[in-house]
Every structure is written in structure tokens, then in C-alpha cells.
Amino acid sequence: MAITDTKFREDDRSLDQTLRPKSWDEYIGQELIKKNLKILIQAAQERGEPIEHLLFYGPPGLGKTTLAHLISRELNAQVKVTSGPAIEKVGDLASILTNLSAGDILFIDEAHRLNKLIEEILYPALESRSLDIIIGKGPSARTIQLELPPFTLIAATTRIALLSSPLRSRFSGGTYRLDFYTEDEIKRIIARSAKILGINIDEGAMSEIAKRSRFTPRVANRLLKRCRDFAQVEKSNSITGDLALKTLDLLEIDPVGL
């Protein structure tokens, strides 16, 4: 049973990856952030340099991770993904940083959960591309400095107030707040996702799902997938407004998404 559950979770993650935008044109919303990032990327490419470090913040599900992947695609760069809780020791960070190649992007999700010691080691890595490591303890301890290749750190957080001021100041490429989406933007996202999934969906169904999505693309896609399941079981070849309402009532989601 555990193996089956794991497979279901992997399939759902794979589906989420499929729905993730692959280009700026496919990424709906956050127009001001996109304009700023396009300028930053173009200027860096013309200089032949990696882009400066970036920080994205805002509630979960608004597209912070997607932006990081879009930037990596635009730069034709590899992206290495980790999270604040996963970097427990200095050795963990050192291993990640020393395995980066020139031009790579390091994406750290939940950056507010980095511990203070890790932050201290990260500062010189971001500013001077060097890594200071202390070997040994007591009088015999010594410090070695490792040179790092040019790389870009993209950090994401849902709780920017928990990030220390020194760390926030290192994101010279900019700090960007992702806003909630409009209902029209959510409907466009639903329409795109439905097309990818091969689902017929009418305007009424898109409106019902959008209203209950809490203006968050991740929630909208999750509700769309549940409506698809309901339509399949009901032997319906399309998601109508009535079918969407029945699905959402079954999920006990009210008109404001609660």
C-alpha cells in the first residue's frame, strides 16, 4: 500500500510539473516582476555575466519556484534546488556550493528556515564567491578559503520577516513580492491547464473554480484536477458549471474558497 501511495504522490507531482509554464508567454500574471526580470536577464546576457542574486517572497502557490525555473530556461543554465530545512550543517552548504558550475542557479526554497550559522557562511559566497571553512577545533583550528564559480542564488520565502537584514541585503538583483492573482488571470490559468490536460471546460465552470481558488494558481489547478476526476466518474466529456459546483460542494469548499 505504501508503494502505491508513493506512486500516486509522484504522479501528482509529475502532473504539477506538466502544468508549470515553460516560457514567459505561458506565465500568466505578475507582469511587473516579469518586466523587471526580463531586463535583468537581457542586461546580464549582453555582459556575459550571471544575473545577480534574487529573492522572491509571498504566500505559497503564487509561482516563486516557477519563476526560478523560467529564469534558468531563459539563461540556458542548470538549476540546483534545495530548501532551508535541508541545509542543516556547514558541510551541507559547502557540498552544494562546491558542486556548482559557472553560470548555475542555486534555488533555496523556504529560505527563512536557514539557521544563522549557515547564513554567516553564505555571506562571503554571495558577495565575493568564496567559501571560508574552519578545519579542526581549538588552537589547532585553521581556516581555508575555497573559490567558487560565478553563480546566482535565487531564494524564496513565505515569511520574509524571518529573514535577517544582512541576508536580505545580499540580494542585489532585487527583492520581489508576488501578489495574489485576479479572477480573470486565474480563469486564464485554468483554461491553459485544462487544454494541457485535454479537458473540455465551459466558462461557468472556470468561473466557479476561479472564485474558490483564493486567487492562487496552485489551488486553482488542484480544484481543476478534482473536477476532472468527478467528470470522469460521472462519464461526462466536459466540465460544466453544474458539475464544477457539485465537485466543490463535495469537497466542502465555499464560494470564498474556505
Write down the catalytic residue from 65, 152, 157, 247: 65
* Annotation marks residue 175 as catalytic: no
Is the separation of the CB atoms in 51 and 41 below 8 Å?
yes
CB 159 within 8 A of CB 58: no
Q: How far apart are CA 53 and CA 127, in angstroms?
A: 10
How many CB atoms are located within 10 Å of the residue 203 CB? Answer: 11
Residues recorded for the chain: 258
95-98 CB contacts, 8 Å cutoff, 24+ apart: 97/125, 97/131, 97/148, 97/151, 98/131, 98/146, 98/148
Domain boundaries, the chain: 30-177, 183-250
Q: Name the active-site residue from 66, 104, 109, 152.
A: 109
Specify the pLDDT at position 57: 97
> Does residue 170 have an active-site annotation?
no
Show the low-confidence residues of the chain (pLDDT under 50).
Answer: 1-11
CA 45 vs CA 49, 52, 249: distances in Å: 6, 12, 50
Contact 212, 187 (CB under 8 A): no
Residue 158 is among the residues annotated as catalytic for this protein: yes
What are the angstrom distances between the C-alpha of 197 and each of 11, 21, 71, 187, 244? 13, 13, 25, 15, 16
Q: Which of 64, 187, 212, 228 is catalytic?
A: 64
User: Which of 3.40.50.1470, 1.10.10.970, 3.50.50.60, 3.40.50.300 is the CATH number of 30-177?
Assistant: 3.40.50.300
Candidates 170, 187, 218, 228; catalytic one: 218
CATH number assigned to the domain covering 183-250: 1.10.8.60
Which residue in 20, 73, 158, 168 is the catalytic one?
Answer: 158
Residue 14 has what pLDDT? Answer: 64
In angstroms, rounded to a whole number, what is the distance separating the alpha carbons of residues 163 and 124?
A: 17
Q: Is 218 a catalytic residue?
A: yes
CA neighbor of 88 nearest in space, from 111, 106, 107, 115? 115
